[in-house]
Structure 1
Amino acid sequence: MTAALLPSDPTRLGAYTVTGRLGEGGQGVVYLGADASGRQVAIKLLRAQLSGDTKARSRFIRELSAAERVPGFCTAPVIDADVAGDQPYIVSEFVPGPALQDVTCPLPEPELLRLAIGTATALAAVHQAGIVHRDFKPANVIMGPGGARVIDFGIARVLDSDVTMTSQVVGTPAYMAPEQLAAGPIGPAADLFAWGLTMVFAATGRRAFAGDSVPSVMNAILHGVPDLSGLPPWLGGLVAACLEKDPRRRPTAVQALLHLLGAPPGTPQGDVQTLLTQGASAATRHGAPPFQAAPGRVPSRGVPPLAAIGVVLGVLANSLTASGVNLALPTIQRDLGARVAGLAWVANAYLLGLALSVVAGGWLADRFGRKKLFVIGTAACAVATLLAVLSPSIGVLITLRGVAGVAAGLALPAGLGLVREAFSGVRLIVVTGVWGAVAGSTTLAGVFAAWPVLEQVTWRFVFVLPAVLGVLAAVIVLAAGRESRGDANASLSPPGMIFLSAALFVLTFAIARVQYSAGVVTGVLLAGAALLVGIFWIVESQIRRGRPPVLLASPSLPAAIGLTAIGFAGLNGLYLLLAIYLQVVGGESPLGAAVATLPMTLAYVVGAAIAAAVGGRVGPRPPLVIGLLLTMAAAFGLSLAGTHFSYVSVVPWLPAAGLGLGLVIPTAAAAVLGHAPVRLGGAAAGLHQGGQLLGGAVGTSVFYALALPRDLTPFWNTGPTLVTGMHTQLVVIGAIMLVTAAFAVFVRRPEA
Structure 2
Amino acid sequence: MNTAAAAAARSRASGRDNPWLTLVAVALGVMMVGLDGTVVGVANPTIAADLDASLAGLQWVTNGYLLALAVLLIVGGKLGDRFGRKKVFVIGIAGFALTSLLCALSTSTGMLVGARVLQGVAGALLMPNTLALLRAAFPPAELNRAVGIWGGASALAVASGPIVGGLLVEHVSWESIFLLNLPLGLLAAVVTLRWVRESKDETHVGGFDVPGVALLSGGLFLLIWGVIKAQDHGWGSAYVIGFGIAALVTLAGFVVREARTREPLLPLELFRNRSLSAGVVLVVTGFFALFGILFFIGLYLQNVHGYSPIQTGVRLLPLTATFTISAPLGGLLTEKFGPRVPLCLGMLILAGCFFGLTGLEVDTGYGGQWPFYLLIGLAMGFVIVASTEAIVGNAPVERGGLAGGLQSTANQLGGVLGTAVLGSVIVSGVGSALAGNLADAGVPAAAAKAVEGQEELIAQGVAPVTPGMPAGLAQAITDASFQSFMDGLHTAMWVSGVLALVSAAIALLVSRGHGAGDGAAVHV
**Which residue identity is paired with 2:73?**
V
CA distance in 2, matches of 1:478, 1:357: 24
> Does the CA-based 8 Å contact 2:148-2:327 persist in structure 1?
yes
Q: Which residue, out of 494, 499, 504, partners 2:215?
A: 499
**Are residue 525 (structure 1) and residue 272 (structure 2) matched?**
no
Shift of 1:429: 0.4
Q: Which residue of 2 aligns with 1:699?
A: 418
Question: Which residue of the partner structure matches residue 726 of structure 1?
Answer: 489
- Contact map agreement 1:323 1:443 (CA 8 A) in 2: yes
Closer, same or farther in 2 for the Cα pair 1:377/1:672, shift >3 Å? same
1:674: Cα distance to partner?
1.1
The 2-side partners of 1:488 and 1:511 are apart by 35
- What is the aligned counterpart of 1:574 among 266, 270, 293? 293
Superposed, which structure 2 residues align to 1:173-184 within 5 Å?
Answer: none
Deviations 1:114-152 (A, max 9, x none): xxxxxxxxxxxxxxxxxxxxxxxxxxxxxxxx9xxxxxx
Contact 2:158/2:320 (8 A) holds in 1: no
Q: Match of 1:484, SS?
A: coil
What CA deviation, in whole Å up to 9, does each residue of 1:574-633 have, x standing for no partner? 111211111222222211111111112232223212212221121110000000000110
- Give the match for residue 224 of structure 2: 508
Does structure 1 residue 599 correspond to structure 2 residue 324? no
Tell me if 1:436 matches 2:151.
yes
- Contact 2:209 2:263 (C-alpha < 8 Å) held by counterparts: no
Question: Is this contact kept in 2: 1:586–1:645, CA < 8 A?
Answer: no
| Aligned residue among 6, 10, 21 for 1:306 | 21
2:392 is matched with 673
Check whether the contact 1:363–1:488 (CA below 8 A) recurs between aligned residues.
Answer: no
- Return the offset for 1:489: 7.2
User: Are 1:415 and 2:162 counterparts?
Assistant: no
CA shift for structure 1 position 394: 0.4
- Give the superposition deviation at 1:645: 2.7
Q: Distance in 1 between matches of 2:354 and 2:208?
A: 38
Q: 2:253 aligns with which of 520, 525, 535?
A: 535
Larger-gyration structure (1/2):
1
Contact 1:600 1:655 in 2 (8 A): yes
- In structure 1, runs of 5+ residues without a counterpart are 1-72, 74-145, 147-273, 282-293
Alpha-carbon spacing, 1:660–1:419, altered in 2? closer, same or farther (3 Å): same
1:565 maps to: 284
Asked if residue 480 in structure 1 is aligned to residue 195 in structure 2, the reply is yes
For 1:711 and 1:675, locate their aligned partners in 2 and report how far apart those are by CA, in whole Å: 43
- Taking the aligned partners of 1:509 and 1:563, their CA distance within structure 2 comes to 22
The Cα shift of 1:440 comes to: 3.4
| CA displacement 1:482-519 (0-9 Å, x = unmatched) | 11111557999443343222222222222222333323
Give the Cα–Cα distance (whole angstroms) in 2 for the partners of residues 491 and 664 of structure 1. 36
The reply on whether 1:638 has 2:357 as its aligned counterpart is yes
| Shift in Å, 1:527 | 1.7
| Cα offset, 1:442, TM superposition | 3.0
With over 3 angstroms needed to count, the CA separation of the structure-2 counterparts of 1:463 and 1:584, relative to structure 1, is same
Residue in 2 that maps onto 1:339 = 54
Question: Higher helix proportion, which one?
Answer: 2
Query: How far does the alpha carbon of each residue in 1:53-89 deviate from its partner, in whole angstroms, 9 at most, with x for none?
Result: xxxxxxxxxxxxxxxxxxxx9xxxxxxxxxxxxxxxx
Note the residue ranges of structure 2 that are not aligned, 5 or more in a row: 431-454, 464-477, 518-524
The range that moved more, 658-667 or 712-721, is: 712-721
> For residue 370 of structure 1, what is the aligned residue in structure 2?
85
For residues 586-665 of structure 1, the aligned pairs below 5 Å read: 586-665=305-384
SS at match of 2:319: helix
Deviation (angstroms), 1:686: 0.9
Greater RCO (Cα-Cα under 8 Å, separation 6 or more): 2
Letter in 1 for 2:143: L
Query: Quick one: distance in 1 between partners of 2:316 and 2:39?
Result: 17
SS at match of 2:487: helix
For residue 354 of structure 1, report the CA deviation from its aligned partner: 0.6
Aligned partner of 1:323 in structure 2 is 38
C-alpha distance in 2, partners of 1:492/1:736?
A: 38
Q: Which residue is 2:457 aligned to? A: 712
Q: Encode CA deviations 1:324-358: one digit per residue, 9 max, x unaligned.
A: 11221111111111111111111101111112321
Cα shift readout 1:223-272 (whole Å, capped 9, x = no counterpart): xxxxxxxxxxxxxxxxxxxxxxxxxxxxxxxxxxxxxxxxxxxxxxxxxx
More displaced 10-residue stretch of structure 1: 453-462 or 661-670: 453-462
Contact 2:286 2:414 in 1 (8 A): yes
Give the distance between the partners of 2:233 and 2:311, measured in 1 at CA. Answer: 30
Residue 184 of structure 2 is aligned to residue 469 of structure 1: yes
How much identity, in percent, do the aligned residues show? 35
Following the alignment from structure 2 to structure 1, what is the Cα–Cα distance between the partners of residues 207 and 374? 39
CA-CA distance at 1:418 after TM superposition: 1.1
**Cα pair distance change 1:410/1:649, threshold 3 Å:** same
Q: Could you state the TM-score of these two structures normalised by the residue count of structure 1?
A: 0.59
Q: Which whole-Å CA distance do the structure 2 matches of 1:575 and 1:324 have between them?
A: 14
CA contact (8 A) 2:151 2:328 kept: no
| C-alpha contact 2:389 2:513 (8 A) present in aligned 1 | no
Cα distance in 2, alignment partners of residues 349 and 489 from structure 1: 35
- 2:232 is paired with a residue whose SS is coil
The separation in 1 between residues aligned to 2:102 and 2:205, in whole angstroms, is: 36
> How much does 1:467 deviate?
3.0
Structure 2 Cα separation of the partners of residues 370 and 677 of structure 1: 15
Amino acid in the other structure paired with 2:361: G
Amino acid at match of 1:720: Q
**How many Å separate the matches in 1 of 2:87 and 2:414?**
28
Secondary structure (helix, strand or coil) at the match of 1:715 reads coil
Deviation at 1:301, TM superposition (A): 7.5
The code of the aligned residue for 1:682 comes to G
Alpha-carbon distance change, 311 to 496 in structure 1, aligned in 2, over 3 angstroms: same
Alpha-carbon distance, 1:643 to partner: 2.0
Matched residue SS, 2:393: helix
Counterpart residue number, 1:98: none
The offset of 1:646, in angstroms, is: 1.7
Contact 1:570–1:733 under 8 Å retained in 2: yes
1:508 partner amino acid: I
Residues 490 and 359 of structure 1: CA distance in aligned 2, closer, same or farther (over 3 Å):
farther
Residue deviations 1:285-314, cap 9 Å, x none? xxxxxxxxx9xx999971221122111111
State the aligned residue count. 465
Please give the TM-score of this superposition, normalised by the length of structure 2: 0.83
Deviations 1:622-665 (A, max 9, x none): 00000000011011111110122322221221222111111000
Alpha-carbon displacement from aligned partner over 1:383-424 (angstroms, at most 9, x marks no partner): 011121111100000000000001110111122211111124
1:684 shift after superposition: 1.1
Structure with more of its chain in strand, by fraction: 1
From the superposition, tell whether residues 382 and 304 of structure 1 become closer, same or farther in structure 2 (CA, over 3 Å): same
